[in-house]
A and B are shown apart, each in its own frame.
Chain A
Amino acid sequence: GQNIDQPTEMTATEGAIVQINCTYQTSGFNGLFWYQQHAGEAPTFLSYNVLDGLEEKGRFSSFLSRSKGYSYLLLKELQMKDSASYLCAVRDADSGYALNFGKGTSLLVTP
């Protein structure tokens, strides 16, 4: 099994940068994913890390440290449409191909 922890809520200002942290405990790590979910909609894939380091994709970057069981999602140049829930998910050897999700961080972007 896994423990996946992330903050429940965050607020940031339009144009700013925000970092959403995720910590996890797993027995056989096999990848960490970040998904964005707007209210009432399905999650959409943002990023994937399996090796340590930073993956950059446009305004979004994701970092992984396997030894620390830690990841963060970095959102730059925040826009109002970035207000959503951000879900951290882990795949491990026990879960096969399935992902186990954290509860998500609800991000509110204010003008």
Chain B
Amino acid sequence: DAMVIQNPRYQVTQFGKPVTLSCSQTLNHNVMYWYQQKSSQAPKLLFHYYDKDFNNEADTPDNFQSRRPNTSFCFLDIRSPGLGDAAMYLCATSRAQGASGELFFGEGSRLTVL
């Protein structure tokens, strides 16, 4: 059973038209992450939440925002998508305490900007 679920799997939008991507988890992990991955590139961390504590990467554009209304859900809002924002957006979770703290990824949301 899927433990980190992203919706939609595929999103097509127009230049400048806002988009929201969602992520839900059944693992009860306290840390949630959003990564952006462009073709043949490394996943790039945009931001992450430790519980409700928001951590923004210094080079994440202001165009990208996130919300985490509760433990299970996290949203990525792209306010005005540009052509350069076309990418796979990966949500991941981890447990802060114990073991390795490995990240569990969802299947990703692929964004196309026309």
Minimum CB distance partner of B95 in chain A:
A97
Minimum CB distance partner of A33 in chain B:
B102
Q: Which residues of A contact B94 (CB under 8 A)?
A: 97
| In the complex, B85 has a CB within 8 A of chain A | no
Encoded as 1 (CB less than 8 Å from any B CB) or 0, chain A from 86 to 97 comes to: 010001000111
| Best-surrounded residue of B55, B101, B108 (most CB of chain A within 10 A) | B101
Q: In the complex the two chains form, what is the Cα distance from A103 to B100 in whole Å?
A: 22
How many A-B contacts at CB < 8 Å in the complex?
Answer: 57
Q: Which residues of A contact B41 (CB under 8 A)?
A: 103
Number of chain B residues close to chain A: CB under 8 A: 26
Task: Flag if B43 contacts A98 (CB, 8 Å).
Answer: no
Task: Flag if A48 contacts B100 (CB, 8 Å).
Answer: yes
Q: Which residues of B contact A40 (CB under 8 A)?
A: 88, 110
Q: Which residues of A contact B50 (CB under 8 A)?
A: 96-97
| In the complex, A31 has a CB within 8 A of chain B | yes
Task: Flag if B101 contacts A91 (CB, 8 Å).
Answer: yes
Report the minimum CB–CB distance from A34 to chain B (whole Å). Answer: 10
Task: Flag if A41 contacts B107 (CB, 8 Å).
Answer: yes
Q: In the complex the two chains form, what is the Cα distance from A83 to B25 in whole Å?
A: 28
Q: Which residues of B contact A104 (CB under 8 A)?
A: 40, 42
| In the complex, B96 has a CB within 8 A of chain A | yes
Minimum CB distance partner of B58 in chain A:
A1
Task: Flag if A103 contacts B42 (CB, 8 Å).
Answer: yes
Task: Flag if A97 contacts B102 (CB, 8 Å).
Answer: no
| In the complex, A50 has a CB within 8 A of chain B | yes
Give chain B's interface residues, CB within 8 Å of chain A.
31, 33, 35, 40-45, 48, 50, 55, 88, 90, 94, 96, 100-108, 110
Give chain A's interface residues, CB within 8 Å of chain B.
4, 31, 33, 40-45, 48, 50, 87, 91, 95-104, 106
Known: A97-B50, A99-B103, A101-B43. 9 other contacts (CB 8 A): A33-B103, A41-B108, A95-B45, A98-B33, A98-B45, A98-B48, A99-B45, A101-B42, A106-B40
